[in-house]
Chains A and B, each alone.
Chain A
Amino acid sequence: MIADIKAFLSDFLVLGDPLIYGADISIVLSMVAIVFVLSYFKKWKWLWKEWLTTIDAKKIGIMYIIAALLMLFRGGIDALLMRSQITFPNEGFLDSQHYNEIFTTHGTIMILFMAMPFIVGMMNVAVPLQIGARDVAFPYLNALSFWLFFVGAMLFNLSFVIGGSPDAGWTSYTPLAGAKLDPGPGENYYLIGLQLAGIGTLATGVNFMATILKMRAPGMTLFKMPMFTWSSLITSLIIVFAFPVLTVALALLTIDRLFGAHFFTIASGGSPMMWANLFWIWGHPEVYIVILPAFGIFSEVISTFSHKKLFGYKAMVWSMVLISALSFVVWLHHFFTMGNTAAVNSVFSISTMAIAIPTGVKIFNWLFTLNKGRIEFSTAMLWALAFIPNFLIGGLTGVMLAIAPADYQYHNSYFLVAHFHSVLIGGTVFGMFAALHYWWPKMFGHVLNEKLGKISFWIFMVSFNICFLPMYFVGLMGMTRRMYTYPEGLGWMPLNVVITIGAFGMGIGFIVMVYNIYWSARYGKRDKTGDPWGGRTLEWATTSPAVEYNFAHIPKVETADAFLHMKEKGTTGQISKAPFKPIHMPNNSGKPFIQAWLMFFAGFGLVFEWYWLAIPAAAATMLVMAFRSFEYHDHHYIPVEEIERTESATGRLN
């Protein structure tokens, strides 16, 4: 009996590794600390009422962004561990298994649990305000999306201490990731964690498409929308049509692993390459999902801080529309080397190069926006300016990789690792950092300190190049991706040392940014105007942070850059002008939170193949959905007196 329990525990908990004991202890300690702080300050009720049950897009956006920053931290630690292991030849800091786990969790977390929530968070924060709406189309669903993402991320991270991490790479290629070669819960965590988060993301896509298509302020035609809203619309469109592919791929591999099907096995006629095929049908559109919103942000930031209208608005839009379609027809470039026919490789090679054209168009539009502008070097603007050359390097090396025969050389080398970090960090992460500084006052009512912001920018940006430029060369020298150590005498060491120095430099830059967040919360300049940057779009027309209902009166839009136009005409006061009318708002609800956690337990049951847990939890999920269907009183009106009170508290009501 006791032996049984011991055996169970040693499978269930990951034992015998000091790093993981450290993690266990810090998880327990931080849980205790959180519970203590919440109880001590009597904040449980506040937490429940203001955050866990909220369906306000602004707050949901903030929660997404906090989660993304935490995940950036975890993924960053993973990166530093990897770099520490491969700085010098023949190191023994991590063994091969451990290294496999770490690059897997690093890649998965960075893409699915850092980049995605960062982007969706920014969409939640900015899109309703930019189009002059009071919330998204389906606020309840929006909360559910967030909580599904959240529990998916929790489940994935749990693997570290319970059961063991996945270790087959973020691409989880079969047959390696199949039950035969990789038994145990690790890969199941990957499959189920991503599944939950992915369903949440799909719902977000539907939600924002409906929001942007139907809830724009009167007068805001499609071609008067801010560019970030445009990019969010196109991103949502790609999400809606790409994420179902991920859903299916994950489900099929889950069925393979749990129920003995043969989709991707070698035995019984399975087709392992079909996994790569499905994965990248989703995977390539996914890279546009994480880059287009960044493009939108750069457009806003560059136009605002050049004090100029965005150059080539229509070309920007049409190039995104083109990208949305093209992004679905290039996926094979991720596996040119699988040995397909020349015809297949050529077609996908050409379609891949074609996608560089609309992207190039956008780069020129930003340059022409800067041209003759009155440029203000704010921190947000610095991130945007640094994006252009850094992303260009990633883009050009991307075109090199698109040449199928040449890719036989580059494939799965550090050249590739350098390429995708150039676009992911130089594009997505820089974009999110720009957005963070740009919209911070809109989220929290104070600006981030510019000096600290610039320090963190320079440290991070320079270190980024120290880290990733040498990777191109070490890749060309033959170092392959995902190798946990390398032998002496290949001449790789000097570059690897430089790379690691750069990696730690980025860590320092990130720490300065976090310190800036702390410092600015305490001492930062409060934003009383709602418009700290001389903004052009509607989110700057309301207070910082925006009131619950965003706008007391929905603004009327006549041109693109609607707020700028209002300022020129002197009509900005209209938004807060009495008399008011009661405002229709949806009620908060705890159901999304509860449903997501039930799905977490269903997922956890599946990970360990504990059907006694999975089935009841799934049934309970259905029950919550049924309750929701029978709920008819899910909205309320904010009375006029309350609007008057709120508006005069902001000093906008004369």
Chain B
Amino acid sequence: MMNENVEQHNAHGGFPWKHVIGLILSLALTLIALWIVVSYSFSTTFTLASIIILAIFQALIQLLFFMHLNESKSRVWQIIAIGFGFFTAATVVVGSLWIMAYSL
């Protein structure tokens, strides 16, 4: 991944490599996820697990390549805010599914 120095050079001109790579990666991951599903050649568990992992990678790509999550002086707080958000989100989704499992 590109470090901040590269980013700074980019900022003063040059080709937006970071964004192009981000786009290519996200398109690729999307297509892989689609393929895993429509090929119907994997078990349900594997299919679901792998597309969820791919989605998490996609989210990281957006956060790091497009949203500059880890720049600025308050990057620690930004990362904590998003991290705590994902922690709570995971708790809500997994917890609710587990608690409501009797009715799924």
Contact = CB atoms under 8 A, between A and B. Distances in A.
**A–B contact at 8 Å CB threshold (below):** yes
Interface of A: 209, 213-214, 237, 240-242, 245, 271, 273-274, 277-278, 281, 325, 328-329, 331-332, 340-341, 344
Contact of B92 (A214, A281, A344): A281
Nearest to B92: A281
A340 B77 contact: no
Contacts of B84: 237, 241
Given A241-B88, A271-B103, A273-B100, A329 B74 contact: no
A418 to B, nearest CB: 27
A344 B99 CA distance: 7
Contact of A340 (B85, B92, B96, B99): B99
B74 A245 contact: no
Contact of B91 (A209, A237, A274, A328): A328
B98 interface: yes
B15 interface: no
Given A277-B96, A325-B87, A328-B88, A213 B103 contact: no
Given A213-B74, A325-B87, A277 B99 contact: yes
Nearest to A278: B96
* Most chain A beta carbons < 10 A, residue from B85, B98, B99, B102: B99
The interface residues of chain A, by DSSP majority, are classed as helix
B77 A213 contact: yes
Contacts of B101: 341
A340 B74 CA distance: 43
A271 B100 contact: yes
24 contacts: A209-B81, A214-B74, A237-B84, A241-B85, A241-B88, A245-B92, A271-B100, A274-B96, A274-B100, A277-B96, A277-B99, A277-B100, A278-B96, A281-B92, A281-B95, A329-B91, A331-B95, A332-B95, A332-B99, A340-B99, A341-B101, A341-B102, A344-B98, A344-B99
A332 B92 CA distance: 12
A532 to B, nearest CB: 35
A273 B104 CA distance: 12
Given A213-B74, A237-B84, A242-B88, 13 more contacts: A209-B77, A241-B84, A241-B88, A245-B92, A271-B100, A271-B103, A277-B99, A281-B92, A281-B95, A329-B91, A340-B99, A341-B102, A344-B98
Nearest to B89: A241
Contacts, number: 40
Interface of B: 74, 77, 81, 84-85, 87-88, 91-92, 95-96, 98-103
Contacts of B99: 277, 332, 340, 344
A205 to B, nearest CB: 11
Contacts of A278: 96
Contacts of A340: 99, 102
A49 B42 CA distance: 68
Nearest to B103: A271
The interface residues of chain B, by DSSP majority, are classed as helix
A169 B100 CA distance: 23
Contacts of B96: 274, 277-278, 281
Nearest to A242: B88
Nearest to B77: A213
A82 B1 CA distance: 64
Which 10 A-B residue pairs are closest in the complex by CB-CB distance? A241-B88, A213-B77, A328-B91, A277-B96, A328-B88, A271-B103, A277-B99, A241-B84, A281-B92, A329-B91
A245 B100 CA distance: 17
A240 B81 CA distance: 9
A213 B79 CA distance: 13
A271 B99 CA distance: 12
Contacts of A277: 96, 99-100
Contacts of A214: 74
Nearest to A206: B81
Given A213-B74, A325-B87, A344-B98, A273 B103 contact: yes
A325 B77 CA distance: 16
* Most chain A beta carbons < 10 A, residue from B77, B95, B100, B103: B95
A332 B81 CA distance: 25
A328 B96 CA distance: 12
A344 B97 CA distance: 11
B98 to A, nearest CB: 6
A260 to B, nearest CB: 21
Contacts of A245: 92
Nearest to A271: B103
A329 B103 contact: no
A551 B93 CA distance: 46
B89 to A, nearest CB: 9
A273 B103 CA distance: 10
Contacts of A344: 98-99
Contacts of A240: 81
A58 to B, nearest CB: 26
Contacts of B85: 241
Nearest to A285: B88
Contacts of B92: 245, 281
A278 B96 CA distance: 8
A329 B24 CA distance: 38
A331 B100 CA distance: 13
Contacts of B77: 209, 213
B86 to A, nearest CB: 10
B3 to A, nearest CB: 25
Contact of A329 (B81, B95, B102): B95
Nearest to A269: B103
A189 to B, nearest CB: 27
A589 B101 CA distance: 50
A274 B101 CA distance: 11
Contacts of A274: 96, 100
A212 B81 CA distance: 14
B7 to A, nearest CB: 23
A1 B87 CA distance: 59
Nearest to A213: B77
Contacts of A209: 77, 81
A241 B88 CA distance: 7
A242 B77 CA distance: 18
Contacts of A332: 95, 99
B17 to A, nearest CB: 32
Contacts of B87: 325, 328
Nearest to A347: B98
Contacts of B98: 344
A271 B101 CA distance: 12
